[in-house]
Amino acid sequence: MSAIIEVKEVTRTYMQGDIPVHALRGVDLTISSGEFSVLAGPSGSGKTTLLNIIGCIDGASSGQVRVSGHDVTDMTRTQGAEFRLTHIGFVFQAYNLLPVLTAYENAEFVLMLQGVSAAERKKIVEPLLADVGLKDMMHRRPHQLSGGQQQRVAVVRAIASKPSIVLADEPTANLDSETSDGLMAVMENLNKEFGITFLFSSHDELVLERARRIIRLDSGKIVGDEYD
């Protein structure tokens, strides 16, 4: 399969006071279209930093990053946001739902930004919310939903526009094991049904068990790469 993410000799260094912190040290990584993979490692290993660089949230200090055939290495923050809007779905650990919007309104938000009509948004979003078990909760606001329900809304928001890639940063970190397993099953089904490439960052064994490739990081370097 063709490469959808290409990371070449990427470093990321930032200052913590007067001390330089080397979050990534010359990382090389290729992810093929349709993969269901996880960046694994302990806290501080660099997995979230790498995910954020791939997702155009942070920039690399050096090296090159290509996503869906586009060189995203030197994109500005605005360019990165525009690129994410059309190419990448992002699932955040803290859900990042807008509290004043309902589950349905949160789920349709990216489509609305893309200029998709209200009628077309309804055709897309309502079946997806039903698929993840939220058919009867789509008009509730985030504070009326459990953590697992909020994360499922976040997943629908991420995949509603059918992006080629979904990046998920510790998506199960705030969930119990039963909810986590159910959420991973939903994303696995979406991967198989729509061919969306999923890349997670996680140290949750439930995520690692379902992933078909585990890329292990430690101290900013890739130290293992295992295929199921």
Domain ranges in the chain?
A: 35-48+76-227
Give the integer Cα–Cα distance in Å for 203 and 209.
Answer: 11
What's the CATH number for 35-48+76-227? 3.40.50.300
The pLDDT score that the predictor gives to residue 162 is 86
pLDDT tens-digit map of 101-160: 999 999 999 999 999 999 999 999 999 898 888 999 999 999 999 988 998 899 899 989
Residues of the chain with pLDDT under 50: none
The pLDDT score that the predictor gives to residue 92 is 84
Task: State whether residue 55 is helix, strand or coil.
Answer: coil
* Closest by CA position to 88, among listed 56, 42, 111, 120: 56
The pLDDT score that the predictor gives to residue 190 is 85
Task: State whether residue 50 is helix, strand or coil.
Answer: helix
The pLDDT score that the predictor gives to residue 228 is 81
The pLDDT score that the predictor gives to residue 37 is 97
Give the integer Cα–Cα distance in Å for 140 and 137.
Answer: 5
- Does this model's pTM top 0.75? My answer is yes
The pLDDT score that the predictor gives to residue 35 is 96
Give the integer Cα–Cα distance in Å for 170 and 94.
Answer: 9
The pLDDT score that the predictor gives to residue 104 is 97
Give the integer Cα–Cα distance in Å for 163 and 12.
Answer: 26
